[in-house]
Homo-oligomer: A and B are copies of this chain.
Amino acid sequence: MRREGSVPEDALRVRVGRIVDSGWFQYTVVAVIVLNAISLGLETYEDEFAALAGRFETAERVFVSIFVVELVLKIYARGPAFFRDAWNWFDLIVVVIALVPTSEGFSVLRLLRTLRILRLVSVIPHMRQVVGALFRSVPGMGTVISLLLIIIYTAAVLGEKLFQEIAPEYFGDLGTTLYTLFMVMTTENWPDVADAVMEEQPMAWVFFVVYMVATAFIALNLVIGVIVTSMEQEVNSQRWAADQELELEQHNELMTQLGGLAEQVERLTEQVRELQAGTNRDRGAERETGD
């Protein structure tokens, strides 16, 4: 039954799994990520810490080494299961990027090191759940988001055609117009945009007011949709379950009681029947006697 040779390996895997799942291991990883985040932050004060540039390089190498060890341990402990979780892929990619040699002083890969701070999310289980919940709330709202995008796109094509020549700095082409309309949607600087257009087309305020009211209204419905969905899932569901359970319990109690009563009455009926049968027999006997 025992597979020779595989047992010690399995035992090692179990032991590594225990390390990887232990609290101190997880806290250490979180602490290293936080230190890495602080180090990345301090690096931005280039002039103040110019003397420490070499130290940052060393720290960077230490952090990456720790992350590599962490992931190797996790992959060893979890086996193929490790690769079934999207969060683990994120961890893996973010760390592998750090291993790619970057000869140039400034590169996209160096920038992507910043994403390692987001490992705080992938490493803390509660954070994973919250982010998972955020993403799960999106598809239900897909139609309203699409609607918002359709409205913005239509308004952009219309706005570009209407105001292109009046205010090319805001409505020069579709890209610029989309950017302008996103700005208007955040209500930032919209009077500047509107004034620039209204100098030549005094009725242009209609476009802006309708656009702002429409997007605000749809965004509001988006928010309300998310609230209602959250409510439906969470509010009172424990109470509701408790209510249902209590009701069922009470109902069963009543039914049992009623069933007992019915049996009691049944036995009583049987007794009375016997009594009657006896009396009848007596009567018969008496009649015989009396005859």
Contact with B along A137-180 (1 / 0, CB 8 A): 10000011011001001101110111010000000011001010
On whether the beta carbons of A173 and B115 are closer than 8 Å, the reply is no
Count class of interface residues, chain A: 35 or more
Whether B174 contacts A147 by the Cβ 8 Å rule is no
B232 touches A232 (CB 8 A): no
Please measure, in the bound complex, the distance between the C-alpha atom of A33 and the C-alpha atom of B137, giving whole angstroms: 28
Would you call A160 and B44 a contact (CB within 8 A)?
yes
| Contact indicator B126/A143 (Cβ below 8 Å) | yes
How long is the Cα–Cα vector from A134 to B220 in the complex, in angstroms? 10
Given A41-B157, A127-B143, A275-B279, are A134 and B217 neighbors across the interface (CB < 8 Å)?
yes
Contact of A188 among B127, B156, B173, B188 (CB under 8 A): B188
Q: A93 at the A/B interface (Cβ < 8 Å)?
A: no
Name the residue of chain B whose CB is nearest to the CB of A226. Answer: B224
Q: Please name all residues of chain B whose beta carbon is closer than 8 Å to the beta carbon of A182 when the two chains form the complex.
A: 209
Q: How far is the CA of A147 from the CA of B135 in the complex (A)?
A: 13
A177 in contact with B111 (CB, 8 Å) = no
Given contacts A44-B173, A127-B147, A220-B226, 17 further A-B contacts (CB under 8 A): A37-B157, A40-B157, A42-B174, A45-B174, A114-B157, A114-B158, A114-B161, A130-B144, A133-B221, A223-B224, A225-B230, A231-B235, A240-B243, A254-B255, A254-B258, A260-B262, A275-B275
